[in-house]
Chains A and B, each alone.
Chain A
Amino acid sequence: NAGVTQTPKFQVLKTGQSMTLQCAQDMNHNSMYWYRQDPGMGLRLIYYSASEGTTDKGEVPNGYNVSRLNKREFSLRLESAAPSQTSVYFCASRETMNTEAFFGQGTRLTVV
């Protein structure tokens, strides 16, 4: 079982470059999430999609955009990367609220 798959695993960007982080799940889950994890800060929610066709801002949405392409895929886009966006990004999915979440292995992004 693949579960939640994130690509790429590692990425180095120059300030001002753009990129899209991809996430796909094969569990037919309705809800999908993007978090960032920084040392000492735990996981902070960037954006989420409660169901196909909807997206909402989380705690730290500035500088990011998302697309729920279909039920399986939820992408995160950085339009103009900044050093403050250096972080580890995790995608997660779950069937609906009040259920457990499944996480991808993360994308380690460095912006120089």
Chain B
Amino acid sequence: SQQGEEDPQALSIQEGENATMNCSYKTSINNLQWYRQNSGRGLVHLILIRSNEREKHSGRLRVTLDTSKKSSSLLITASRAADTASYFCATDLGYSTLTFGKGTMLLVSP
């Protein structure tokens, strides 16, 4: 079974708006990672947040982690049409496996 579940499944916004997507997971983790996938392409790593971190920033990306609620959120500020993609969270339990959720499809309209 999949460890992480993203919410919402799909999100449609206008350019310039912020996009927030959430990830919930079931068991304790070493770290949580977010990836992006453009249509038909491989996944690209965006950001890794460790279990002892609460917030991390990278450019227009902000990730939070709440281990007590077993949840994480990815915020993309000032979205652009080029941000249109699917976004996946992945949980790293420290056993060498990396388990992905089903993803959130983000559509940013000009």
Q: Please encode chain A, from 39 to 53, with 1 for each CB lying within 8 Å of some chain B CB and 0 for all others.
A: 011111100101000
- How many residue pairs at the A-B interface have CB separations less than 8 Å? 65
Contact between A40 and B30, CB atoms less than 8 A apart: no
Q: Which residues of B contact A78 (CB under 8 A)?
A: none
Contact between B100 and A94, CB atoms less than 8 A apart: no
A98 vs B102: C-alpha distance in the bound complex, in angstroms?
21
Contact between A106 and B42, CB atoms less than 8 A apart: yes
Interface residue count on the B side (C-beta < 8 Å): 27
Interface residue count on the A side (C-beta < 8 Å): 29
Contact between B102 and A45, CB atoms less than 8 A apart: no
Contact between B30 and A41, CB atoms less than 8 A apart: no
A100 vs B63: C-alpha distance in the bound complex, in angstroms?
15
> Which residues of B are in contact with A by a Cβ distance under 8 Å?
1-2, 30-31, 33, 35, 40-45, 48, 50, 88, 90, 92, 94-103
What are 24 inter-chain pairs, A to B, with CB distance below 8 A? Answer: A4-B42, A31-B96, A33-B97, A40-B102, A41-B102, A42-B88, A42-B100, A42-B101, A42-B102, A43-B43, A43-B88, A45-B98, A48-B96, A50-B96, A59-B1, A90-B43, A96-B96, A97-B30, A97-B92, A101-B33, A101-B45, A101-B90, A103-B42, A106-B41
